[in-house]
Structure 1
């Protein structure tokens, strides 16, 4: 097994090969990951996501968790999916979807949090058996008629968390979702994590994917 130094060397070598290519093609999660490393090429479309610094052990841990998540097939999508007036106030629909491959309820744990980029207000948060965190679920409600929805259900060998919430446009110019997944909640080394952000569709964003919750 590779130690921290071995993983760092492997990630640096991979970054050197792919960083330039990542800037010229449509961004995949791996290419976005590359831009956040020390090989990153400046790109205004991902300003909402912090850049990892090679000298930071915390950043190295986060980068490794993201890399393992991408390689495993873990998926995290968040997007602005439409607007509607509620009591004459414009609201945006935020859609989210997270897929956790190889989910085993007896061993695994996860947490998902969506926050507003303007004030870090929590818009949606849920966890199940996440280390150091009590199981919980919370989400904003626009009104009784627009309460939002979410569901957690198996999909083959994966667990899927998906749904939508309604948020006031004036307070929510963008959102960030953090998804963490432990295949074995007793082993911190199995943690995988993805951080994605979204802005309204008229803003070009590599991390925004438009899709609909059925």
Structure 2
């Protein structure tokens, strides 16, 4: 499950990222409202954890704009404001849940599980296809008529992006930004490693789908004759 965490308190953000990753969530981070809104608009997340008091753009304004764009991703608001009026304002702005600081990590995880259960049925049915391959992003599985292979979480993210943009060139920088986030320190060479892993797994299926290297540009997922 992929989460967008929008929180400007660096120490809290780092602690939450550690907890979430330890519990097998994939996490992207943003530290202000404008950046968080752009990421929520450009990438699909299962849940958004959104601080209310953010620099550059207030959290509820971000939420309202996302809902106006018909982005229905469940949103959990984090805030130090704990009055009934504040909670009602957050929920009326489109939030799915509201958690007051300070909070326990166990309560946060429980609320995320509850939000995740609401999404499971619709996500389970969202499969992507190319040629004779069917890919389930939630399970990280590629299937053909005869075989099923399992992808790691990062392989799954890379393949999903490429499959949604099949026959289009995707740069290493785009993959880096979408998967590891704007603050990523990972080297671009690591993208090549995951592409190599994917190519080897696709080769085991003996399918007519390949990842082509476009020199000086990036990669392209396409069918071959």
Q: TM-score range by the shorter chain?
A: under 0.3
TM-score by length of 1: 0.26
Higher Cα radius of gyration: 2
Instruction: Considering Cα pairs closer than 8 Å and 6+ residues apart, tell me whether 1 or 2 has the greater RCO.
Output: 1
* Greater helix fraction, Structure 1 or Structure 2: 2
* Greater strand fraction, Structure 1 or Structure 2: 1
